[in-house]
Copies of this chain bind each other. A is one copy, B any other.
Amino acid sequence: MPSNAARRAPSRPSSDRPYMAETQFSLRIPNRPKAVRRALVEICGRTDASGSGPDTVGRIEITLAEVLNNVVEHALRHEEEGEIHLTATRKNDGWHFDIRDGGVAMPGGIVPHPDLPGNNCPLENLPEGGFGWAIVNTLARDLHYRRRAGGNHLTFVIPEH
């Protein structure tokens, strides 16, 4: 839990303070696509306000959309209730995300690392999905998954360049 001073960190590092102070926020996101949408808008607002540039904010939004929609569509797909807990922490190397849900385990117990669906095929065979984890694997660093106490726990970093 960061101190209040850390929470009020200035949004951009100044030249005499090369290490950015930690900024952190948490959200609880209900198990519905519309709630994921609202959470993404909120997160973009906060990461932008803390001084991250549009490219970083864009990569955060794309990555989190895939991760959170996967939880709703897969981990919690048989549940009517359920919440996703998200914590975002800005560190020197980028934004660290910690995402937990109480849904079914990732099949195989690891983060899927699918190939991108092929696009070199006749029109009628073009893929309409299956892109999610391929996108996440491309944009996120230090992607870790653990199953613990009947829930899923995913952590990763979106680097800031």
Chain-B contact segment, one of A29-37, A73-81, A93-101: A73-81
On whether the beta carbons of A104 and B108 are closer than 8 Å, the reply is no
How many angstroms between the C-alpha atoms of A124 and B42 in the bound complex?
29
Q: A118-B150, A150-B118 are in contact. Are A78 and B129 (CB under 8 A)?
A: yes
Determine if A143 is an interface residue (Cβ-Cβ < 8 Å).
no
On whether the beta carbons of B81 and A130 are closer than 8 Å, the reply is no
Interface of chain A: mostly helix, strand, loop or mixed: loop
Of the residues B112, B118, B127, B150, contact of A78 by C-beta under 8 Å: B127
How many angstroms between the C-alpha atoms of A114 and B80 in the bound complex?
20
Residues of A in contact (CB 8 Å), total 25
How many angstroms between the C-alpha atoms of A14 and B99 in the bound complex?
61
Chain A 88-135 residues near chain B, CB threshold 8 A: 104-110, 112, 114-115, 117-118, 124-125, 127-130, 133
Q: Which residues of B contact A115 (CB under 8 A)?
A: 105
On whether the beta carbons of A128 and B78 are closer than 8 Å, the reply is yes
**A-to-B contact residues, CB < 8 Å:** 77-81, 104-110, 112, 114-115, 117-118, 124-125, 127-130, 133, 150
